[in-house]
Amino acid sequence: MMVSNNVIHYLLQWVFGEPTLNGLMSLTSAHWGECRSTLRALLASEGPERRLRENAVLRQAALVGRADVRMHLPADIGDYTDFYSSLDHATNIGTMFRYGYPTNTVYR
């Protein structure tokens, strides 16, 4: 797999240059797949795109040591979050609160 330098540049500059992952989440599933493929290729131990493995300067700039990692909320949440965003979740919650009528017809 050959990874486009334009894709890498775009992802690094716009999506991963932000303090949160909101930009990444706003993209489509095709973009997420390309991002995942690019990251996997860059981290691979074999293949033409194994840049991090072979480039110590790039590896040091791109990776953070486990002891230096700070866990935080990766997204800015606005004033509303729809926790019933999927049919599966709505069905699970509906089963708990409306026995016999697990999913409201608005979700179908």
Cite the active site residues.
89
Which residue in 43, 36, 34 sits closest to 7, CA to CA? 34
Count how many residues are written for the chain: 108
| Helices (runs of H) and strands (runs of E) counted in the chain | 6, 0
Region of residue 65 (left: phi > 0; alpha: psi -120 to 50; beta: else) = beta
Give CA–CA dist 41/21, Å, rounded.
Answer: 20
